């Protein structure tokens, strides 16, 4: 055990160094905090999407992977969109930094207590995205903190596999993506390119098709649909001209995506247009999974091998009515891959991100122990 005086001296050095990492008033709460107790520290897991951003703080406890599910949550913080493609890089960065500060403040910890951070953020689609985020994360945290930046799909996968990157995850929330990993580290993805390039099957995709159907019906270019009265009534509109104005007044992805319940209600009431929109969404989501599974060979050479399929997002959540999109997607995928093992996680993706931070950190520590000690 190190003397308490030494610990306090080290803490003062770290805290002094953190002054240069300050961003406005976000980290001022640290000024009123004393010296951290113990050396175990904490870890942060962040799930950042188009609708919201969630940060989880957990203790950095060294135990076996099988006990990972028992790791307690010390604090949870929520903020808005952190997808840089949606709100811009500056706004995304401020959201991420604020939600991490809120989580640490709630559990009474400083950045100097953090051992690892895993940011799983939508819009991270290329190594350049990772490096850009890592560069400003290094300006926020002291040098001892291990930093990991991933696409948010990996946190969702981890939430269903307890931190293991193996299998396929299908996310269908505001946006949609299918992402897969093999045990030897190969990966593949399908969709997830945003609403312009193809997030069909997502809440935004479903809602956009519904709005298009309303305009087509009003013009006489398409069949009449209950969607017209449903959407008009919800927003106090009376004509296609007004719905065009409503759409472009604030074309935020999450705002448009919120129309999905209208589509489901109309489909359950027998509206053929709404029914076909949902049917097409199911086919699109299933085809994304099929593409990933085939590219990675997750189903084995005979197509019968089992693999986990983690299903996350509001579109896929269980629904008590006659139209359950998630259930229909599973039925469709099972026709192609009989061995598929659907998993609906019991924890949120931010917890999955925290589990990834723990796994990555512990693996790196184990590798460091295996390195030979070089003598002078």
Concatenating the DSSP letter of every residue in 220-257 gives TSS---HHHHHHHHHHT--SHHHHHHHHHH---HHHHH
- What's the confidence (pLDDT) of residue 371? 61
State if pTM tops 0.75.
yes
CA 297 to centroid of chain Cα atoms? 24
Query: What is the full DSSP assignment across 169-188?
Result: EEEESSSEEEEEE-TTS-EE
Q: What is the pLDDT of residues 202-261, one digit of tens each?
A: 999 999 999 999 999 999 999 999 999 999 999 999 888 898 899 899 878 888 999 999
Domain boundaries, the chain: 4-144+348-370, 195-343
How far from each other are the two terminal CA atoms of the chain, in whole angstroms? Answer: 27
Q: What is the pLDDT of residues 290-299, one digit of tens each?
A: 999 999 999 9
SS3 302: coil
- What's the confidence (pLDDT) of residue 24? 54
- The burial class, CB within 10 Å (0-12 / 13-18 / 19+), for 42 is buried
Cα radius of gyration (the chain): 23
- What's the confidence (pLDDT) of residue 11? 45
Sort strands 176-181 and 75-79 into parallel, antiparallel or unpaired: unpaired
Q: Which fold has domain 4-144+348-370?
A: Nucleotidyltransferase; domain 5 (3.30.420)
Alpha helices in 88-202 (DSSP H): 89-106, 127-140, 152-161, 194-197
- Same fold? 4-144+348-370, 195-343: yes
Q: Using CA atoms, how far apart are residues 111 and 27, in angstroms rounded to an integer?
A: 9
> In percent, how much of the chain has pLDDT > 90?
60
- What's the confidence (pLDDT) of residue 66? 64
- What's the confidence (pLDDT) of residue 346? 92
Question: Which residues of the chain carry a pLDDT beneath 50?
Answer: 1-2, 4-22, 37, 376
- What's the confidence (pLDDT) of residue 36? 56
Q: Using CA atoms, how far apart are residues 200 and 191, in angstroms rounded to an integer?
A: 8
Q: Using CA atoms, how far apart are residues 40 and 62, in angstroms rounded to an integer?
A: 8
- What's the confidence (pLDDT) of residue 376? 44
CATH number of 195-343: 3.30.420.40
Q: Using CA atoms, how far apart are residues 170 and 173, in angstroms rounded to an integer?
A: 10
């Amino acid at each position: 055990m190190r003397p308490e005086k030494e610990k306090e001296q080290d803490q003062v050095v770290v805290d002094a160094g953190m002054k240069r990492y300050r961003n406005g008033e976000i980290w001022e709460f640290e000024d009123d905090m004393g010296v951290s107790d113990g050396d175990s520290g904490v870890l942060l897991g962040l799930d950042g999407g188009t609708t919201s951003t969630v940060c989880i703080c957990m203790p950095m406890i060294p135990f076996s992977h099988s006990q990972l599910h028992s790791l307690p949550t010390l604090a949870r913080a929520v903020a808005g969109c952190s997808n840089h493609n949606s709100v811009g890089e500056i706004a995304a960065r401020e959201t991420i930094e604020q939600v991490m500060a809120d989580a640490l403040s709630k559990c009474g910890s400083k950045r100097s207590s953090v051992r690892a951070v895993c940011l799983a953020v939508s819009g991270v689609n290329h190594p350049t995205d990772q490096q850009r985020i890592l560069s400003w994360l290094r300006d926020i945290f002291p040098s001892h903190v291990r930093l990991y930046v991933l696409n948010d799909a990996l946190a969702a996968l981890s939430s269903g596999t307890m931190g293991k990157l193996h299998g396929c995850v299908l996310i269908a929330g505001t946006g949609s993506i299918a992402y897969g990993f093999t045990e030897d580290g190969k990966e593949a993805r399908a969709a997830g390119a945003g609403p312009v390039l193809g997030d069909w099957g997502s809440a935004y995709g479903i809602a956009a098709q519904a709005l298009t159907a309303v305009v087509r019906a009003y013009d006489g270019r398409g069949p009449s649909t209950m969607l017209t009265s449903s959407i008009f009534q919800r927003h106090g509109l009376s004509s296609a001209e007004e719905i065009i104005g409503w759409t472009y007044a604030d074309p935020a992805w999450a705002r448009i995506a919120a129309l999905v319940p209208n589509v489901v209600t109309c489909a359950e009431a027998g509206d053929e247009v709404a029914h076909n929109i949902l049917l097409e969404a199911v086919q699109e989501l299933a085809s994304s999974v099929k593409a990933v599974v085939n590219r990675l060979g997750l189903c084995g050479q005979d197509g019968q091998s089992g693999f986990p399929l983690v299903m996350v997002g509001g579109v896929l959540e269980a629904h008590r009515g006659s139209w359950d999109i998630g259930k229909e997607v599973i039925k469709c995928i099972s026709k192609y891959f009989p061995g598929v093992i659907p998993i609906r996680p019991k924890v949120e993706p931010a917890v999955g991100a925290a589990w990834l931070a723990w796994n990555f950190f512990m693996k790196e520590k184990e590798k460091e122990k295996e390195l030979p000690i070089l003598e002078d």
